[in-house]
Structure 1
Amino acid sequence: MDSETSWTWAYPDSHLTTETWAGPARVKQPDGTFRWVDTTLEERDGALYPKVAKVGVRIGDGGDTHLATLERAEKGQSFAVDWPAKLPKPRIEGNKAIYDISTSDLKADLVVTALATGFRHDVVLRERPTGPVEFRLPVRTEGLKLSETKAGGLKLTDAKGKVVASAAEPFMMEAPSTDAKSAPNMRGQIDTQVVGKAGDQTLVIKPDPKFLADKDTTYPVTVDPTVSLTATMDAWIQSRTGAADATDSVLNVGTGTYYQSERRCSGSVCSYTNKIYPNFLRGYVGFGDDAGGVAGKYVESATLQLLGSYAGSCVGRTLTASPVTSSWDTDSLSWNLRPSTTSTGAVTITPSCGSDTVTSLNVTQMARNWSAGGGFYGVELKSTEDTRSSWPDESNPISAQYWSFYSVESGQSPPKLSVNYLLPPEIPTVTGESIDSIAGTDAISRTSDVKVNYSSTSIDGKKLDYLVSISDPTTPIPVPTTTPSPSPSPSPTPSPSPAGTAVPGLVAAYGMNEGTGTAVADQSGTGNAGTASGTAWAVGKFGQALSFNGTSSRVNVNNSASLQLTNKMTIEAWVKPSSVSGYRTVIMKEASSDASYALYSSINGGFFPGMGMSGPTS
C-alpha cells in the first residue's frame, strides 16, 4: 500500500494510518524500496545530478553551453535547455547551480534549481540594467514539442498531443521588501515566445522594461520561466496580479500589502503619495483523487500538517482550511479561476507565528465527508481577508501577515494529510425463522411472527447498529402469474391471493401504494380508509408514496371507535421530510376541543421525533 506520494501503517489494534503528500515525497527504486526525495546536487561524470528525484535531471557543470536536461528514458523523451554562450563553472549551493553571466551592461547570475519533478532556471538581475534585456535560450527536444499555452505558460506535448510537462506563465519577482507594509515581494510580467520547429526551438524571454526601470522595484530581480515534468498538486495565488505559482518552494497564505502611487495636483503643482493596498494570498493543496484510499472507510481522525514560517504581527492571525468542491489544476489556476469551496467541514485555527514550526489542522470532519463520497478535490488555505474599500485611506493600515509553508518543490516537508481509519465490519450473517423466500435483500414471510438474527464482527469492538425495514406487513402477497404452456394442455386455474394476516391490536395501516386517485386504503382490516386532499403521488422507499406540501396537504380519516385509543398505543410512520424546522405533524387524532394523540418531528430545543397525547379520545 506504499507509493511515492503515500504510505500506510497497520497497527495491532486493527486501525490503519495513511499519510499522503501533495506530490512525490519518495522515489521508488528498482529493487522495490523507496528513498526520500533529496534534490541536493552532486557531481558525477562531468555533470550535476540531484541525489534522489522523481525524474532524470542533468545540469551542466560549465565549460560548454549545456544548461539543463529532463529525461524520460523509458519513453524516449527529453527536453534540454542551453545558454547562448559558454557557461562558467557554477557555484553549488544545495540544490542550486549558480553561474555568473555578468557583462558590461548586465550584472546577473543564472541559477538552475533541481526540483523533485524537474528543474527551474532563473536569471537573477543583481542590479538595474542599463539597457534592454532579452534572453534567447536554445531548446532541444526528443519525442516532445515545446509550445505556449492559452494562459501564457509553456507546455511540452508528445507525438499524440498529450501534455507531459508544463509551466505556468513566467514572471519576474523583486527582492523581498524590508518594509512589513509592502510584502511579499511584487511580480513583473514577461513576454515569452517559442520560435522554430520541434526538435530545434528557441525560448525567447523579454522582461517588462517598465518593471525593471521602475524606481520602486527592489533589486535583485528574478526572471523565472520554469518547467516541471509532473504536475504537482500545490500552488498559491495572489489577488493583485491574479497569478498562480506552482513551482515556488513555498506556499504563501495570508494578506500581503503593496504600495501604489497616487497623483494629486493643486494648480500646476503635483505630488505623489504612496498608498497601501491589500494583496490577498491563498494556497491550494491536493492529494490525488482519493487521499490514501479513504473512500468508504470509517475515519477516526485526520490531520493536515504544514511546515513553514510566519511574517508579520502575531495579533489577529487566523488560518482557515476549506474543502475544495470542484476540480482544478495548477496550469489553469488563477485568482479569477479559483475552484469552488464549502464551509462544511472547514477548520479555522490560530497557528504559531514562529519560524520552522509545524501547523496542524484537525480535518477529521472533512475526511469523513470525503470518505462518504463528498468528492475529494483538496484543500484551500486562506486567512481573514479585509476587503474594505477604505484601505488606502487608513491612517495606520495593518501590516502584512502571512505564512510561507514548504511546498512539494521545496524538497523538504511538503504538505501532508494523515488519516486514521478503521476497516469496515465483516458482512453480517442473516438467519431467520418463518421466512418463505429471499428476493435480493428482501426476506418474504407470510406470517406476522418473524424472527430475524444478524451477526457480525467489528474490528474496534464497538457495538453494531442494524437497520431493519418492514414494508406493508399486512399487504396480501401477490401470486406470480403462470405463463401458459405452448402445448394445448388446459390452462391452470390461478390460486387466489392469500388474505393478509391480521395483526393483533392493529387498527389502521396505510401503505399508500394506490398511485392514483384520492382513496387511501386501510390494510388493517378495520375499515379506517382515508381520503387524500392536496397531495401528489410519488415514488416511495418501497413502492408508491404520497407527497405533502407541508401546509394544506392531508389524508382525512373519519372518526371510529377503533381509533379512540384509551390505553397503550404505538404510532409509527416512514417519512422523508424536506424541512425539520418548527413542529412537523405526521399523524394527528383530533377531538372536540383538543388533540387526542399525535406523532410529529421537531428539532426545537433539541427534540427529535416525538409523540403527544392529551384530552378525550373521542
Structure 2
Amino acid sequence: MRSETSEVFANPDGTFTQETNAAPVRAQLDDGSWAPIDTTLRADSDGTIRAAATATRVSFSGGGDRQLVTVAKDGKSLDITWPSTLPKPELAGSSATYPDVLEGVDLKVTAVSTGFRQVLIVKDASAAANPDLEHLEMSVTGHGVHLQPGLDGGVAAVDDNGTKVFESPSGQMWDSTGDATSSDSDASVRKNTRRTAMAASGSALASTPASDGGSEDPSHGPTGGDKTADVDVTLAAGKLTLAPDLGLLRGKDTAFPVYIDPPVKGVVHNDWTALSSDGDHFWEWDGDKGTGYCANYAGYLCSSTPYTQRLYYEYPLTSLYGKKVLDVTFEAYQTWTFTCDRHSYDLSLVDKGISSSTRWSSRPTAIDLMGDQLVSHGRGSLCSPSQPADWVRFSDNVSGETNENLTTTVAAHVDGEKPQITFSLTPHDETSTGAWARFRDDAKLSVTYISKPAVPTPVGVQQGNAGSVCNASSEPFATSSTKPKMYATVQSADGANAQLRGQFEVWKADGSAKVWSADSPSSEWVADNAKRDAASSTALAAQTDYRMHARTQAYYKTDRGTTGTLTSAWSSWCYFRIDTERPPAPVISSSKYKPADTDPAAGGVGESGTFTFTPADEDEPSP
C-alpha cells in the first residue's frame, strides 16, 4: 500500500511496517506509477509551465494571459487569476518570476510538494506606496470544490462532503532588516549571506563567518532580524483578497525588499511547522529549517537578533487502529550543524496538536522524552573526518535507557484510538548556538505491527462428514458421536502474512465446568481464513448437553527478537448434546391402510393413502 506520504511493507517475519513521512516524498503520475517529488518547472508545448512531480498538481501561466495558476488533486482543482495580463516568467528551478506585475513589484511563484507558494517582492518604498497593494484581489474558481473561510484564518476549498482539499492559510510578510550589515565587531556578518563556517577537526572554527545554514534566497521566508507581520486573506464573491500590513509595508524603518507570501496548498494528512520566539512561523515549510538557539557562538553569528526555534511534526494514527504496535522509530534528516562537535537532540511528545494558526505563544509543551541522539551531520568535508548530511534515528534503547518509550507511547495512542500524535525536535541545550542544526521536512515515523486477530467465523460442531452447525441453547444440535469435531475458521486482516491458530473450549452447557480445550494446530501456524478442527481425546459423557466456542490466536516476532501472541475475542457459544440412545420405531397410522392383524385388508396396488408417523414415548437403550 502506498500514498504520497505513507508506505506499508510486509516483513519476512509476518509483521508489517508502515513508514509515514511528514511531508510528501512521492507523487502519482498520470499512468498510475509513482515518482519521487520533483518540483522542477518545465514549459509544455502550449506554453503552460508545470511542476514535474508533486503531490498536488501545479501549473503556472506561461505569460500573455491572466490565469496565474491551477492546482489539482483527486479530480478537483482551483484556478487563480491575476488582476492583469501576466508577462512571460523567468524560470529557475522550482520558481517562475513574473517581473513588474505592478510597478516595482515582482511576482514569484514556487512549486512545492503540496502546492505552490507565491511571493510578491516589493522592491522599494516607491513601489510600496502603490494603492493597488492595499487590497490585492485575485479571482478564484473551484472545480469540484467550493470556497469558505478557513478555521484558522485564510481560505479553505472543500468538496461536497465537506472535506478540505485545498487551503490558503493566513499569509505572512517580512522585510529585509535581517539582511542589514551589523557593525558590532569584525566577526559580524550579513545575516542572510548564508555562508557556511569553515571548521577544522574537533570543535575548532575557522575564520569564515557563519549563518544559520539556510537558503540564500530571502524570498523563502523571514529570518532573525526581519520585521514580520501577518497578511489577512479573505474571500468574498469568488475574490481572494490579500491585505498586507501597511505599518510594515510603508514603515519608515522598513528595509526593502519586502516579501508578501500567501501560500496555496493541497491538504495532506500529516502536519509540520517551525515556531520561533521572535514571532516567525513556518507552517508546512518546504526543504529544511533550523532548531535551537540562533545567536552568537565563539564570535560567529547565526543571527544578529537572537531567537529560539523549535520543529514540530504530527502524524495520523487512524490507519493503525486495530493493530498491535510492536516497534516504532522516528527519523529526521539532519542537513547542517553549526559546528563539527556532536550535540544531543531530543525527540519529545508534546501536549497538543499543531495547526496553521499555532504560534510561539500558543506552542505545544514537551511532556515526555521519547529519545535522544548525540550527532553532528551536514558539514561534510569541513569536518575531519567528514560529516555528510544523514538521517538521525530515534528508537527505544530498551536495555540501556529505560526512560525511552517511543514504542509504548505510540502503542498507547493507537490503543486509545487517538487520531494523531505530535512530537517536537529540539537540541537538548537550547542556550548554545553551537547546538543549532537544520532538519528536513520529511521526518519519518516507522511503525512495525501486526493486526489484532479477528473472531473466527464460521464456528460450529461437526455435522455429517465435513459440515458444521452452531445452534442456540434452546435447540442444541444432537450428535451420537462422543468425540465430535469442533470447527473454526481463523481470521486476520494480515491475510497470507498472518501466523494463526484456532483455540477451542468445550464446557458443560450450564457453564459449571470446562470439559476440554485444544489448540489447532498445536505446534505450527496457519494463514488467514484457514479452517481448523479439534476433538477431545476422550469420550464425552453421553446424554449430556454441552457448549463450545473458539477464538483466533496470532503469533508475532519483531526484528529485535521479541516474540508473543495475541488473541481475539471468543466466538458466540454453540450448543450441542451427546445423545447415544437409539430412538424406538415410530408409531405409524393410516385411516385407509390399517394393521393386517387387527383389520381386514383394504386398498390395493397403485391406490394412494395417507400415513401418519408419531414418535414413540421413550428411547431404546443403546446396545
1:301-340 deviation per Cα after TM superposition (whole angstroms, max 9, x unaligned): x3322224335345684321112454x3533422233345
Cα distance, 1:13–1:172 mapped onto 2, change above 3 Å: same
CA distance in 2, matches of 1:349, 1:332: 30
TM-score by length of 2: 0.57
Cα distance, 1:30–1:146 mapped onto 2, change above 3 Å: closer
Residue aligning to 2:468 = none
1:186-206 deviation per Cα after TM superposition (whole angstroms, max 9, x unaligned): 3511443536413xx252332
Residue aligning to 2:263 = 226
1:374-424 deviation per Cα after TM superposition (whole angstroms, max 9, x unaligned): 64413222234658xxxxxxxxxx5485333222xxxxxx22223345677
Residue aligning to 1:299 = 326
Helix, strand or coil for the counterpart of 1:86? coil
Residue aligning to 1:38 = 38
Does the 8 A contact of 1:431 with 1:452 survive in 2?
yes
Residue aligning to 1:25 = 25
CA distance in 2, matches of 1:148, 1:243: 21
CA distance in 1, matches of 2:446, 2:57: 29
Matched, 1:337 2:408: no
Matches within 5 A, 1:52-201: 52-71=53-72, 74-75=75-76, 78-101=77-100, 106=104, 108-127=105-124, 129=126, 131-133=128-130, 134-135=132-133, 136-142=136-142, 144=145, 146=147, 148-149=149-150, 151-158=152-159, 163-175=164-176, 177=179, 178-179=190-191, 184=224, 186-194=226-234, 196-198=236-238, 201=239
* Unpaired stretches in structure 1, ≥5 consecutive residues: 259-274, 388-397, 408-413, 468-618
Cα distance, 1:313–1:90 mapped onto 2, change above 3 Å: same
Structure 1 residue aligned with 2:312, among 281, 284, 293? Answer: 284
Question: Deviation at 1:60?
Answer: 0.5
Cα distance, 1:207–1:332 mapped onto 2, change above 3 Å: closer
Structure 1 residue aligned with 2:348, among 319, 322, 329? Answer: 322
Residue aligning to 1:245 = 283
Question: Deviation at 1:91?
Answer: 1.4
CA distance in 2, matches of 1:220, 1:141: 31
Question: Deviation at 1:93?
Answer: 1.4
Cα distance, 1:160–1:370 mapped onto 2, change above 3 Å: closer
Code of the residue aligned with 1:139 in structure 2: it is S
CA distance in 2, matches of 1:462, 1:428: 19
Question: Deviation at 1:281?
Answer: 1.4
1:429-475 deviation per Cα after TM superposition (whole angstroms, max 9, x unaligned): 5468xx75389xxx8538xxx986664654548765899xxxxxxxx
1:334-362 deviation per Cα after TM superposition (whole angstroms, max 9, x unaligned): 22333454315x11223315246123232
Helix, strand or coil for the counterpart of 1:287? strand
Cα distance, 1:214–1:308 mapped onto 2, change above 3 Å: farther
1:230-266 deviation per Cα after TM superposition (whole angstroms, max 9, x unaligned): 14511111222164522443343222359xxxxxxxx
Residue aligning to 1:480 = none
Structure 2 residue aligned with 1:445, among 500, 504, 513? Answer: 513
Helix, strand or coil for the counterpart of 2:361? coil
* Unpaired stretches in structure 2, ≥5 consecutive residues: 180-189, 192-209, 213-222, 297-302, 380-387, 397-404, 453-497, 526-554, 568-623
Code of the residue aligned with 2:323 in structure 1: it is G
Cα distance, 1:230–1:386 mapped onto 2, change above 3 Å: closer
Deviates more, 1:3-12 or 1:122-131: 122-131
Helix, strand or coil for the counterpart of 2:69? strand
Cα distance, 1:308–1:463 mapped onto 2, change above 3 Å: closer
Residue aligning to 2:439 = 405
Matches within 5 A, 1:366-405: 366-372=406-412, 373=415, 375=418, 376-384=420-428, 399=433, 402-405=436-439
CA distance in 2, matches of 1:95, 1:4: 19
Does the 8 A contact of 1:27 with 1:52 survive in 2?
yes
Question: Deviation at 1:61?
Answer: 0.8
Deviates more, 1:189-198 or 1:225-234: 189-198
Helix, strand or coil for the counterpart of 2:362? coil
1:149-204 deviation per Cα after TM superposition (whole angstroms, max 9, x unaligned): 46443333456765432233211234565346995453511443536413xx2523
Question: Deviation at 1:294?
Answer: 8.0
Helix, strand or coil for the counterpart of 2:4? coil
Does the 8 A contact of 1:310 with 1:401 survive in 2?
no
1:107-147 deviation per Cα after TM superposition (whole angstroms, max 9, x unaligned): x4311111222211111234555652553242131355555
Cα distance, 1:465–1:2 mapped onto 2, change above 3 Å: closer
Residue aligning to 2:216 = none
Cα distance, 1:174–1:464 mapped onto 2, change above 3 Å: same
Cα distance, 1:169–1:318 mapped onto 2, change above 3 Å: farther
Does the 8 A contact of 1:295 with 1:371 survive in 2?
no
Helix, strand or coil for the counterpart of 1:378? strand
Residue aligning to 1:360 = 392
Helix, strand or coil for the counterpart of 1:14? coil
Helix, strand or coil for the counterpart of 1:186? coil
Question: Deviation at 1:92?
Answer: 1.2
Matched, 1:309 2:298: no
Question: Deviation at 1:84?
Answer: 3.0
CA distance in 1, matches of 2:235, 2:499: 62
CA distance in 2, matches of 1:203, 1:8: 42
CA distance in 2, matches of 1:466, 1:25: 34
CA distance in 2, matches of 1:278, 1:295: 46
Cα distance, 1:29–1:230 mapped onto 2, change above 3 Å: same
Residue aligning to 1:235 = 273
